[in-house]
Amino acid sequence: MSDFSRVMVRELKNSPMTAKFGMIVILVYVVVSFFAPIIAPFSETEIVGAEYEPWGGAFLLGTDNLGRDMLSRLIYGARNTVGIAFVTTMLAFAIGVVTGLLAAALGGWLDQLLSRIVDVLMAIPSLIFSLLILTVVGTSVINLILVIAILDSTRVFRLARAVAVNIVVMDFVEVARLRGEGLWWIITKEVLPNAMPPLVAEFGLRFCFVFLFISALSFLGLGLQPPTADWGSMVRDNATLITFSDITPLLPAGAIALLTVAVNFVVDWFLQKTSGLKE
Amino acid sequence: MSDESNAGEKGDLLVDMKGLKIEGRREDTWSEIVHGVDVYLRRGEVLGLIGESGAGKSTIGLAAMGFARDGCRLSAGTLMFDGIEMRSASAATKRKLLGSRIAYVAQSAAAAFNPAHKLIDQYTEAPVQHGVLSRSQAESDAKDLFGRLRLPDPENIGYRYPHQVSGGQLQRAMTAMAMSCRPDLIVFDEPTTALDVTTQIEVLAAIRDIVEQFNTAAIYITHDLAVVAQMADRIMVLRYGNLVEEGDTREMLADPQQEYTRDLLSVRSFRKAVPTDTPPEVPLLEIKNVDASYTSGAKVLDGVNLIIPHKRTVAVVGESGSGKSTTARVITGLLPPSRGEVLYNGTPLPPDYRQRSKDLLRRWQMIYQMADTALNPKARIREVIGRPLTFYLGMRGKQKEDRIKDLLNMIELDPDDYIDRLPTELSGGQKQRICIARALAAEPDLIICDEVTSALDQLVAEEILKLLQRLQDEFNLSYMFITHDLATVRAIADEVVVMLRGKVVEQGEKNSIFKPPHHEYTDLLLSSVPEMDPDWLSNLLEYRATHGGMKTSDN
The pLDDT of A212-222, averaged and rounded, is 83
The pLDDT score that the predictor gives to residue A215 is: 80
CA nearest neighbour of A194 among A71, A278, A260, A109: A278
Residue of B25, B378, B440, B482 for testing the chain A interface, max A β-carbons within 10 Å: B378
Whether A3 has its CB under 8 Å from any CB of chain B: the answer is no
Strands, DSSP E only, in chain A?
Answer: none
CA B173 to CA B124: how far, in whole Å?
12
Q: What is the pLDDT of residue A100?
A: 94
Find residues 145-174 of chain A whose CB sits inside 8 Å of chain B: 170-172, 174
**pLDDT computed for residue B53 by the predictor:** 72
Work out the minimum CA distance from B376 to partner chain A, whole angstroms. 6
pLDDT at position A278 over 50: no
- Across the interface, whether the CB atoms of B424 and A171 are under 8 A apart is answered no
Tell me the one-letter amino acid at B87.
Answer: R
d(CA B219, CA B65): 10
* Cβ B419 vs Cβ B405: under 8 Å: yes
B242-248 β-sheet, strand order: B102-105, B185-189, B217-222, B46-50, B234-239, B242-248
Cβ–Cβ contact B75 with A under 8 A: no
pLDDT in tens, A124-137: 998 899 989 988 98
Interface of A with B in 178-197 (CB under 8 A): 178-181, 189-190, 193-194
Evaluate if residue A276 carries a pLDDT over 60.
no
pLDDT attached to residue B551: 52
pLDDT of residue B269: 56
**Are A189 and B374 inside 8 Å of each other by CB?**
no
A116 pLDDT band, cuts 50/70/90, is: very high
DSSP B238: E
What is the C-alpha R_g of chain A?
22
CA-CA distances (angstroms) from residue B81 to A13, B42, B105, B127? 44, 11, 18, 20
Q: Is B484 helix (H, G, I), strand (E, B) or coil?
A: coil
Minimal Cβ distance to B373: which of A170, A178, A180:
A170
Would you call A193 and B378 a contact, using CB atoms and an 8 Å cutoff? Answer: yes
Q: For residues B528 and B319, what is the distance between their CA atoms, to the nearest angstrom?
A: 11
Q: Answer whether 0.90 is exceeded by the pTM.
A: no
Which of B376, B388, B424 has the CB atom closest to A179's CB atom? B388
Of B356, B373, B388, the CB nearest to A171: B373
Angle at B488 between CA B333 and CA B266, to 5 degrees: 160
Q: Determine the residue among B26, B70, B376, B383 to mutate to test chain A binding: the one whose Cβ has the most chain A Cβ atoms within 10 Å.
A: B376
ipTM: 0.74
HEC assignment per residue over B79-124: EEECCEECCCCCHHHHHHHECCCEEEECCCHHHHCCCCCCHHHHHH
Q: Cα Rg for chain B, rounded, in angstroms?
A: 25
Mean pLDDT of chain A: 84
CA distance linking residue B511 with residue B492, whole number of Å: 12
Q: Which residues contact B95 (CB under 8 A, 6 or more apart)?
A: none
Is the minimum CB–CB distance between B358 and chain A shorter than 8 Å? yes
Interface with B, mutate which of A179, A183, A272, A274 (most B CBs under 10 A) = A179
Please tell me the distance in Å from B377's CA to the nearest CA on chain A: 7
Q: Cis bond leading into A227, ω under 30°?
A: yes
Which residues of B fall within a CB distance of 8 Å from A194? 376-378
Give the pLDDT confidence of A60-89 residue by residue, as tens digits. Answer: 777 777 778 888 888 888 888 888 888 999
pLDDT at A146 over 90: yes
A122 φ, ψ to 5°? -75, -20
Tell me if chain A has a CB within 8 Å of the CB of B443. Answer: no
Residue type, A118: V
How far A60 CA lies from chain B's nearest CA (Å)?
Answer: 47
pLDDT bucket at A25, cuts 50 / 70 / 90: very high
* Count of Cβ atoms closer than 10 Å to residue B31 Cβ: 8
Subunit contact A174:B375, Cβ cutoff 8 A: no
What is the sign of the dihedral through the CA atoms of A22, A24, A25 and A29?
positive
In the predicted model, residues of chain B with pLDDT beneath 50 are 1-6, 553-555
Q: Over the stretch B197-234, which tens digit does the pLDDT of each residue have?
A: 777 887 888 888 888 888 888 888 888 788 888 888 88
